[in-house]
Structure formats: structure tokens, C-alpha cells
Amino acid sequence: NAGVMQNPRHLVRRRGQEARLRCSPMKGHSHVYWYRQLPEEGLKFMVYLQKENIIDESGMPKERFSAEFPKEGPSILRIQQVVRGDSAAYFCASSPQSLGKRHYGYTFGSGTRLTVV
């Protein structure tokens, strides 16, 4: 019963390169959330996706960042032309369905630590 799987665990990119972060939700979970954590800070919401749908991307920078959750395969967070300020830990969480009154549980992955050099 694997939890939320994120890979790679660590990713180093030079400025200007692209970073692709993958998240496989828990079995049976169809909702995925991406969060970013800067050092010594809490997590900041980026985007909420269901299969083939972006539900809310209000926390995601308008430029260079995109996310998808295809019908088959993991959710991908893509950062184009990375800059030093993109260095952070990126966490993915999943839930079994929309978090209405009766469902409160998010399960987080171990994160991808992106370092831009």
C-alpha cells in the first residue's frame, strides 16, 4: 500500500533549464495538490488537479510554471527556465475525492528538493 510517491527526491538544474517533478498519488486517490516550501517556512499552495482537469491554479506563478494530471500516469509539475528563486522543496499531496465536510485527509509525499545553480 504505497503512499504518495514523488520523484526525483533531489533535482539539480542550472539556471535556464527545465525541471520536471512527478507525483503518483495514493492508490484510489484522484485529487492531487502541489505545495512549495521555502527553507524555514510553511508550505504554500500552488495548484489543485483532478484527472485531466486543473481545478485551481491560483497559487502558481503565471509564467514558467505548469501542471498536469493526465488520465494515465503521474501528475507533473513543470518549471521552465528555472531561476535561483525556484530552489525549494516541492510537495505533492493526494486525497480520495474532493474535500467536503466528511473528508479531511491529505497524504503528502516526501517531496522533491530542487536546487538551481
Stretch that binds other proteins, among 11-19, 40-48, 60-68, 72-80 (CB under 8 A): 40-48
Question: Which CB, 2 or 72, lies closer to other proteins?
Answer: 2
- If binding is defined by CB under 8 A, does position 39 make contact with other proteins? no
Which of 17, 76, 108, 115 is close enough to bind other proteins by CB under 8 A?
108
- If binding is defined by CB under 8 A, does position 105 make contact with other proteins? yes
Cell numbers at 65, concatenated: 510554471
- If binding is defined by CB under 8 A, does position 21 make contact with other proteins? no
Least Cα distance to 33 among 54, 52, 18 occurs for 54
Q: In angstroms, what CA-CA distances link 31 with 18, 28, 75?
A: 25, 9, 10
x-marked contacts with other proteins along 57-96 as a string, rule CB under 8 A: --x-------------------------------x---x-
CB 7 within 8 A of CB 22: yes
Task: Output DSSP code: residue 26.
Answer: P
CB 94 within 8 A of CB 107: yes
- If binding is defined by CB under 8 A, does position 42 make contact with other proteins? yes
